[in-house]
Structure 1
């Protein structure tokens, strides 16, 4: 292992799709960690979904050896970070493991929403920031524009910005030298008690949990007894090592190093990202700052398409939980869909990723109910009001006991070209957003800041934002507070019976539009029966929307050639009576496509 002055710990931060994973590929290739014949793009992204979508979901780390111009052998620890807003906490822990950050700006798109928010995260942790302008080989690249934005929007010195093309490798050698010269070595004492930050972990089916750590003080060796400071559990270290794409065992890890250890931990949920690891015999005085519990913000129920697959789904979710500690779930049941699970997610992207992983990796056919957020509901309980947290419409108290409700609000930051400002403002106002700031970043771009309810972002907000801005607007948010709202439970009735899986908690003014949309979708999906099927949206006993699936009817008048009208009327009345009787005993089966149709956005 290298001496502490020859170690550099750094991360790459950027907005989605600014070339972070491609730049990591070039650094790994230059460090000769992988043979050219074995190389593949996005080498640190090991999930199929990450490759297809071009996003990083799980952060990775890699140790790159580099011989600098001064002749010394350096050890460069790259901690790769996810770029999406759902995984901000993972990004903050990864940033906390570093002394420097390469801030990537796309020469064709300039500074965007998450470029700013990730830079502020890096500044909070006192990182040395080196701006890097990427994609300089593209025809649409505008390097002068990118430099101006680095000066004006980020407040960094653009004359120090490095020009690279991650795709072609141009400028990567200069980048290596800048990492060595401009990032400081880690500070830490090898002889102090062990203090290490957990910034990630993953599950190995043969060896248990592999814990990713950055050592701030002390030494971590094989056979040592360690303690997790959050829950006080103790383990014996079986293996320590570093990341060189594969896990490479070493004798020990010292202060300043980034590496991993395996200690017979069986589930990922026992390991908390952001927790501090210390020695059991000689513990450090206090834990590293910044740890917090990861709390889900979006909730949805998962049901198997075939109720016989429930046990398989249960096993699949348990296996997924081993790899993703931020997934929260509990058992749930529905009269319409049978047994399933109520799950909590970090955001909508996290929900989509879990859905795709269940379908691909575990071959599960699943139905997700409409996503919901967690509301604070105040229920009358004698003279006082009792506060309960509700994220499932089934748990919403009925019979007029609800006194008031609060919903979570977000601070949304949208950076957009000026030509789309009007349309985006209309969209945000429609979603009950209140504008708090509007800043012209330059002649062509504006930053809009809105306070808006999180629940409004769950339904087709992101898709519509991208379509009205032709993909140019960038969006970032953080949850700020709870505010009063007029909340109602919208029930969907089919043939007079409520379908619990289609119930939703909605803002009262939006209830009618939402009910009408659901009724129209169901009307298209439900097959016709021998009797009329009313589809109704209701708040309590008040029906606010209705559609009807017409009955299949036999032409009972076909055999009447002319003749008396009373004969025809008699036949029609007889048919009507039969339909009425059938409606009373008839049961309407909801096809699976109906549930999926209700959850899709307007434009699909």
Structure 2
């Protein structure tokens, strides 16, 4: 059988998932009776948000020139935070369909995904989608593909995923243009693990692609990274549901495997599967480990115990290896995990998946980035939590991560976006002409200044037409200081933040005002202070709840009332000394409000 392995890549919201649905219908894998939108987006979270979070694999059959072709394709996410999913999908394919919106044209993530596909040495078919919309400009977008991306405009295929127009031509082009899988059936087995998920009853289900050799049900396999062996109890393909098959898997085949793997540590994304009886000499290259950009802490709260949170995080890590986690502890919040993510949306998604799939209640602290600390002794250390900053007298420099940002935006919004970048301590690097109404701005920005609301402000200023892609470039030294927050005189390490000295007082005042709104009033007055070193730079007070203790004190001498009020005053002073302040989730996220 002829096999074609490819993935669908694009900027977010350019119609990848809808095009995948149409391809499923066009090949008979899904009909009008079983049809549902976003068929490959299996999570409720994906349907609710209308975005793809996890790359999804599927196998379909297509007849071209009288021959039957098996098309194995992967629908990938489009958001910059999920680029690790895209890179894993590219490593399992020989071709890529690059989708461009006929109304929007080339966007930041379109360019970034193209570079990834070129680096992976894949054949690329450009597809101009949404040609049925009134504002579509397919010919202009095809020329833009040639000018900006360097792909021939004549190679573009015009489609409408909504109506199905052009999908048959696309399927034929896939069979004709994409190469057959590279691999030798007679070689020892080498199969790449590109994804996995944990099932309570069947153990870890592995998604793999056979690169060389053959695998059958009943084979004894070995994981090359850890050396453990297992027996294959089930092999199957995604059509699009998991469908078991008795056929052997040969070089080029993509599917899933069940092997009664109960220990989560036995499976590593990017590992190589081989036969125990005839092992391969060396493992496949696998994947480069993703570098987390954003860190935050998760702590168990409510009825959830630390062990429940650990189990939920460990199971989720099997399905999403792009986040990291390490145990940590806080005086205010107890034991938890310090987790690293690829971006703010990734962090948000992981939190929701933990709460839904893991059934845990948790408190999340404000996200931070990695800082490089140059000590006076010459040692260089990295910290991800401001609370871990060493004594200032021992520090020579604090360096923050800088990103190279490529912003594609309408020409009319350039002035406002440059002003926004200047507010975030950005350095202008250049400007490129894209078309009559669109340009590319190149900026160097501190990562800490863009992780929270920069995307939202970019979208707001450009009416949704601005997009941005970025990559971490280097660490730069600047006038950075650690700002601690004292609540009722006690330092809350989870609220500590590293800020630029020029913005410290403004950020401190804005943060305390926000905390004052978020923390409930108690029976005693709560002072809030922002402190740098030993110096208080801002202060707010949360007033005590007043209780009318003299309500039943009618008549008599005024000293009776004074006695009651004095008694209450002493009680409140004692309460202030030994009382604890409940800090809600919203208070930890208030650290992110820049006040700009």
TM (norm. structure 1) is 0.89
**In 2, Cα distance between equivalents of 1:328 and 1:296:** 7
TM (norm. structure 2) is 0.91
The residue aligned with 1:321 is: 317
Q: Provide closer, same or farther for how the CA distance between residues 156 and 146 of structure 1 changes in structure 2, counting only shifts above 3 A.
A: same
For residue 488 of structure 1, report the CA deviation from its aligned partner. Answer: 2.3
Q: Provide closer, same or farther for how the CA distance between residues 26 and 175 of structure 1 changes in structure 2, counting only shifts above 3 A.
A: same
The residue aligned with 1:47 is: 43
SS in 2 for 1:349: helix
Contact 1:242–1:250 (8 Å) recurs in 2: no
Contact 2:125–2:155 (8 Å) recurs in 1: yes
Q: Provide closer, same or farther for how the CA distance between residues 528 and 62 of structure 1 changes in structure 2, counting only shifts above 3 A.
A: closer
Residue segments in structure 1 that go unaligned for 5+ positions in a row: 560-566
Q: Provide closer, same or farther for how the CA distance between residues 282 and 489 of structure 1 changes in structure 2, counting only shifts above 3 A.
A: same
Residue segments in structure 2 that go unaligned for 5+ positions in a row: 554-558
Is 53-62 or 271-280 further displaced after alignment? Answer: 271-280
For residue 441 of structure 1, report the CA deviation from its aligned partner. Answer: 0.8
Contact 2:189–2:212 (8 Å) recurs in 1: yes
Residue 533 of structure 2 is aligned to residue 540 of structure 1: yes
Is 397-406 or 550-559 further displaced after alignment? Answer: 550-559
Residue 519 of structure 2 is aligned to residue 526 of structure 1: yes
Any idea what the Cα deviations from partners look like across 1:281-316, whole Å, max 9, x if unmatched? 433344333632234332111123427654443443
Contact 1:66–1:73 (8 Å) recurs in 2: yes
**In 2, Cα distance between equivalents of 1:179 and 1:155:** 20
For residue 79 of structure 1, report the CA deviation from its aligned partner. Answer: 1.8
Is 326-335 or 14-23 further displaced after alignment? Answer: 326-335
Is 264-273 or 407-416 further displaced after alignment? Answer: 264-273
Q: Provide closer, same or farther for how the CA distance between residues 321 and 171 of structure 1 changes in structure 2, counting only shifts above 3 A.
A: same
Aligned length: 591
Contact 1:531–1:579 (8 Å) recurs in 2: no
Residue 571 of structure 2 is aligned to residue 595 of structure 1: no
Q: Provide closer, same or farther for how the CA distance between residues 466 and 516 of structure 1 changes in structure 2, counting only shifts above 3 A.
A: same
The residue aligned with 2:118 is: 123
SS in 1 for 2:505: helix
Contact 2:61–2:70 (8 Å) recurs in 1: yes
Contact 2:296–2:339 (8 Å) recurs in 1: yes
Any idea what the Cα deviations from partners look like across 1:163-191, whole Å, max 9, x if unmatched? 11101111111111111112122232211
The residue aligned with 1:239 is: 234
Contact 2:363–2:585 (8 Å) recurs in 1: no
Is 302-311 or 242-251 further displaced after alignment? Answer: 302-311
Contact 1:8–1:77 (8 Å) recurs in 2: yes
Residue 53 of structure 2 is aligned to residue 57 of structure 1: yes
Q: What is the aligned counterpart of 2:254 among 254, 258, 272?
A: 258
The residue aligned with 1:33 is: 29
Residue 367 of structure 2 is aligned to residue 357 of structure 1: no
Instruction: Give RMSD over aligned pairs.
Output: 3.1
Contact 1:359–1:366 (8 Å) recurs in 2: yes
For residue 337 of structure 1, report the CA deviation from its aligned partner. Answer: 2.5
**In 1, Cα distance between equivalents of 2:97 and 2:400:** 37
Residue 105 of structure 2 is aligned to residue 139 of structure 1: no
Contact 2:304–2:360 (8 Å) recurs in 1: no
Contact 1:8–1:180 (8 Å) recurs in 2: yes
SS in 2 for 1:153: helix
SS in 1 for 2:38: coil
Q: Provide closer, same or farther for how the CA distance between residues 177 and 89 of structure 1 changes in structure 2, counting only shifts above 3 A.
A: same
Aligned pairs (5 A) from 1:57-456:
57-68=53-64, 70-248=65-243, 249-289=245-285, 291-306=287-302, 309-380=305-376, 384-398=377-391, 400-456=393-449
Contact 1:241–1:252 (8 Å) recurs in 2: no
Contact 2:101–2:128 (8 Å) recurs in 1: yes
Any idea what the Cα deviations from partners look like across 1:330-381, whole Å, max 9, x if unmatched? 333323233332222222111100111233334433221110112222344x
Q: Provide closer, same or farther for how the CA distance between residues 35 and 328 of structure 1 changes in structure 2, counting only shifts above 3 A.
A: same
The residue aligned with 1:585 is: 577
**In 2, Cα distance between equivalents of 1:271 and 1:593:** 34
Q: Provide closer, same or farther for how the CA distance between residues 234 and 294 of structure 1 changes in structure 2, counting only shifts above 3 A.
A: farther
For residue 576 of structure 1, report the CA deviation from its aligned partner. Answer: 12
Contact 1:521–1:594 (8 Å) recurs in 2: no
The residue aligned with 1:564 is: none
SS in 2 for 1:416: strand
Any idea what the Cα deviations from partners look like across 1:382-411, whole Å, max 9, x if unmatched? xx3333321122322236222222322222
SS in 1 for 2:378: strand
**In 1, Cα distance between equivalents of 2:449 and 2:115:** 26
